[in-house]
Copies of this chain bind each other. A is one copy, B any other.
Amino acid sequence: MIDPRLITLRVFARCGTVSATAELTGYSPSAVSAQLRELQRVLGLQLLTKDGRGVRLTATGRFLVAGSDTLIADWESLRAAAMEAGDQVQSRFGLGGFSTAAAQLLAPLAATLRSTRPLLEVQVLEANPARCFDLLVAERIDLAVIVAMQSNTYGEDDPRFEQTVLLDDPLDVIIPADHPLASRETVTLEELASEPWITEAAGSTYHSLFTAAFTAVGVTPRIAHEAVEWETQIAFVGAGLGVGLLPRLAPLHSAENVVRLRITGKGKPARRIVAAVRRGSITSPLIQESLGILQMRANKIVSARPEDDL
């Protein structure tokens, strides 16, 4: 309902370049350029200035973008209230999420929605957390499921988003099936301190989670191997190369030679899974229903494993 050109401007304010804006919004760079030019013309305002080989927001532009936060939120709020009052939902619904979250939570959600609301057009986009927020601003998606990290999570008071904790996804240990501890039901990180560890590449989303878990118990683990995907990591463990941490949400499938154990003791690492929506839209019936489904699904998976796993 808000002029798409203003949305484009807001996306530009986030990413700073026309090309990136084009990529995020799904337009071509020319279209973004034309839209921004047209926006300035119709408002009679100079919003952009040349800056090197790129363009940059003017003070007026920044002012407009900042002020538009409440405008967008108000619209979302109004739309949500109208949906609720009319007992109807929108025709399109975009979901975004990262890796395991997307696979384990979003896919079932999308499937459920498709069956309960056949005429609803559901679209799922896999994207990392930062991009998810961009996609929310760009209105490509309406709901994002992300792993909360200091780097990507926004404050409670961010005027653009509203976030609700879905669950704290505990990290389990995966060890080779022939490992001495494999028959145990739970372990502590201290017991595994001297093991060779398999983790993600330093700087990746989950690596900081890994280090945080061990600094909590005062142990410095030895990193033997690095993997990018969970599947790879699991395979490494299965091959006896070491042990690793695996979020409970991540499925083991029926990997041979690998056992999942719960962690006990004072170091109980977990990653926080958060749902983010555009501010104001949280009361929308479809969002509410989706959050319920996600939460139910998440709790079921977390409480079920590892007993029922494999």
Contact = CB atoms under 8 A, between A and B. Distances in A.
Given A63-B82, A71-B78, A44 B89 contact: yes
Given A2-B3, A43-B79, A86 B58 contact: yes
A20 interface: no
Contact of A3 (B3, B42, B58, B67): B3
Contacts of A42: 91
A82 B60 contact: yes
B2 A90 contact: no
B44 A60 contact: no
Q: How large is the interface on A (under 10, 10 to 19, 20 to 34, 35 or more residues)?
A: 20 to 34
A44 B90 contact: yes
A81 B67 contact: yes
A300 interface: no
Interface string A97-132: 000000000000000000000000000000000000
A43 B64 CA distance: 26
Contact of A44 (B1, B43, B88): B88
Given A82-B63, A82-B64, A88 B3 contact: no
Residue of A42, A60, A79, A82 with most chain B CB atoms under a 10 A cut-off: A82
A60 B44 CA distance: 35
Nearest to A93: B44
B2 A43 contact: no
A86 to B, nearest CB: 3
A154 interface: no
A216 to B, nearest CB: 46
Given A3-B2, A45-B88, A88-B46, A71 B75 contact: yes
A82 B78 CA distance: 24
A33 interface: no
A114 to B, nearest CB: 16
Nearest to A1: B3
A74 interface: yes
A35 interface: no
A274 interface: no
Contacts of A74: 70-71, 74
A19 interface: no
Given A67-B78, A70-B74, A45 B2 contact: no
Interface string A65-77: 0011011001100
Interface of A: 1-3, 6, 41-46, 58-60, 63-64, 67-68, 70-71, 74-75, 78-79, 81-83, 85-86, 88-91
Given A2-B2, A43-B90, 11 more contacts: A3-B3, A42-B91, A43-B79, A44-B83, A44-B91, A59-B85, A63-B81, A63-B86, A67-B82, A68-B78, A71-B78
10 contacts: A2-B2, A2-B3, A3-B3, A43-B82, A43-B90, A46-B88, A63-B81, A64-B82, A68-B78, A71-B74
